[in-house]
Amino acid sequence: MKPVYKRILLKISGEALAGEQGFGLDFDTVVRICESVRKCADMGVEIGIVVGGGNFWRGRSHDKMDRARADHMGMLATVINSLALADGLEQLGVPVRVQTGIAMQEIAEPYIRNKAVRHMEKGRVVVFGCGTGNPFFSTDTAAALRAAEIDADIIFKATNVDGVYDSDPKKNPNAKKFDTLSYLDVLNNGLQVMDSTAASLCMDNNISILVFNLNDPDNIVRAAAGEQAGTIVK
């Protein structure tokens, strides 16, 4: 397959790494996802990855804790996931570097934008840990920020639904899937593609978001070849 993008920012939810068990890491699932990332890299696509942390911890849902501290814990969860992805990719022979938005230099490189770009130019996958490095921001916002910084052609939001619907398809059998949406559709209608901070950042920087299902990880490869159906926000 021939890629239609030069550089992508892949956003993977933490839950996607948990597999059937729904919590923590299922390494077979991690490796399956990494295999698809490898196929994209083999096609010559430059890849940055932002991963969530919801398989371990969700900052925003802990209303008994200080939000900033709960978010710090969530950022640490993204580092666990980033290291797991790096390990999976390395096992498959894919060169990879992890960079974190909060310095923890004994474990990973600190996030340095130019260095991340250089790694990608050399064919290395770069996994960005710690979200944006700030509390109160989601990892979707981190994906939008890193995509803007590294000048990615598109964000692939690989999730557990095959696109964006006008209502919850699990509850409403008549829910309608959108093929294309504008950023303003997302912002005005509160569609659950990404939070408003992330959507505004994408809008202001003209970054498209392709939302598709990760149940079959090869959808990432199809998306890179321009073949994947889902919902595109642009």
Site residues (vs ligand GTP, CB under 6 A): 97, 105-110, 122
Nearer Cβ to ligand GTP, position 110 or 133?
110
Min CB(145)–ligand GTP separation in Å: 21
Min CB(85)–ligand GTP separation in Å: 14
Read off the tokens for 229: 């159906």
Nearer Cβ to ligand GTP, position 67 or 113?
113
Min CB(203)–ligand GTP separation in Å: 33
**Contact between residue 139 and residue 50 where contact means Cβ atoms under 8 Å apart:** yes
DSSP-derived secondary structure for 155-220: EEEEESSSSEESS-TTT-TT--EESEE-HHHHHHHT-TTS-HHHHHHHHHTT-EEEEEE-SSTTHH
Nearer Cβ to ligand GTP, position 49 or 207?
49
Bridge partners of 109?
Answer: 99
Min CB(122)–ligand GTP separation in Å: 6
Q: Count helices and strands (H / E) in the chain.
A: 7, 11
Nearer Cβ to ligand GTP, position 107 or 175?
107
**Close Cβ partners of 114 (under 8 Å, ≥ 6 residues apart):** none
